[in-house]
Amino acid sequence: MSYSLYWADRKSTPWSLGKIVCVGRNYAEHAKELNNPIPTEPLLFIKPATAAVDIEKPFSLPKDKGECHHEAEIAILVGDTISKVAPENAMDKVVGAGIALDLTLRDLQSKLKEKGHPWEVAKAFDASAPLSGFVPCEIMGDEPIGIEFEVNGELRQKGDTSMMLTSIPELISYISHIFTLEAGDVILTGTPAGVGPLKEGDEFRANLLGRDGETRLTVTGCIQS
Ligand code: ZN
């Protein structure tokens, strides 16, 4: 069943979900916590549309695949074709912001990294990209600014765009010079420090903050047990 993108008020968007473009290690503190070098340019990978599930409906983690980590991320919804755009115009065709989890099979990813193999098996599996509804740009303002993620009432991750190695407009510009972004594509902009394993029965809550620091969107969800 294909995933339906929706606005934060639950109305449907005119677009079907395309590709989910992810950026790795966009917050220096997160690169450090996994003993990864800080990249000199954005590190990109893609999840297929089939990876998406509704973040507010219970979802399951892969069984017997080792630790599955939460990476809470600011998600950006693209509303029109973007190709070879300059950073100063990069937000023109962005229509909304939301919350995503870039779920990662960390043990498996470590093994793949050791061998120098691609990450897809650890990153692109079914339900690896829980997505929230999107807050339209008119409500969000120019750019979302921060994200907070709690598991079972404990704050695990908190980050804002000032901590990003590559800003959201620069990221969109960079991506658009490699491949075309289309209406319905979603960009996951990297995760702040504090990633860790999720387990069956965990309950989580995430907030998306606007430029004024105010919460623009809150979602809650749980891991199916
Ligand atoms: Zn990530």
- Mean pLDDT by runs of 10 across the 225 residues of the chain is 90 96 93 89 96 97 97 97 96 95 97 94 97 89 84 97 93 97 97 97 96 91 95
Q: Which domain holds residue 130?
A: 20-222
| Phi, psi at 172, each rounded to 5° | -65, -40
**Residue 143 belongs to a domain:** yes
What b/e string do you get for 76-89 counting C-beta neighbours within 10 Å, with b at 16 or more? bbbbeebeebebee
**Residue 3 belongs to a domain:** no
What separation in Å is there between the alpha carbon of 213 and the centre of ligand 1? Answer: 22
8 A C-beta contact, residue 172 and residue 94: yes
pLDDT number for residue 1: 59
How many angstroms separate the CA atoms of 18 and 184, rounded? 5
pLDDT number for residue 225: 84
Residues paired with 146 in a beta bridge: 160, 209
What separation in Å is there between the alpha carbon of 9 and the centre of ligand 1? Answer: 26
CATH of the domain at 117: 3.90.850.10
Tokens of 141: 């303002």
pLDDT number for residue 38: 87
Give the number of domains in the chain: 1
pLDDT number for residue 113: 92
What separation in Å is there between the alpha carbon of 198 and the centre of ligand 1? Answer: 15
pLDDT number for residue 140: 75
**Residue 10 belongs to a domain:** no
**Residue 15 belongs to a domain:** no
What separation in Å is there between the alpha carbon of 89 and the centre of ligand 1? Answer: 25
What separation in Å is there between the alpha carbon of 43 and the centre of ligand 1? Answer: 10
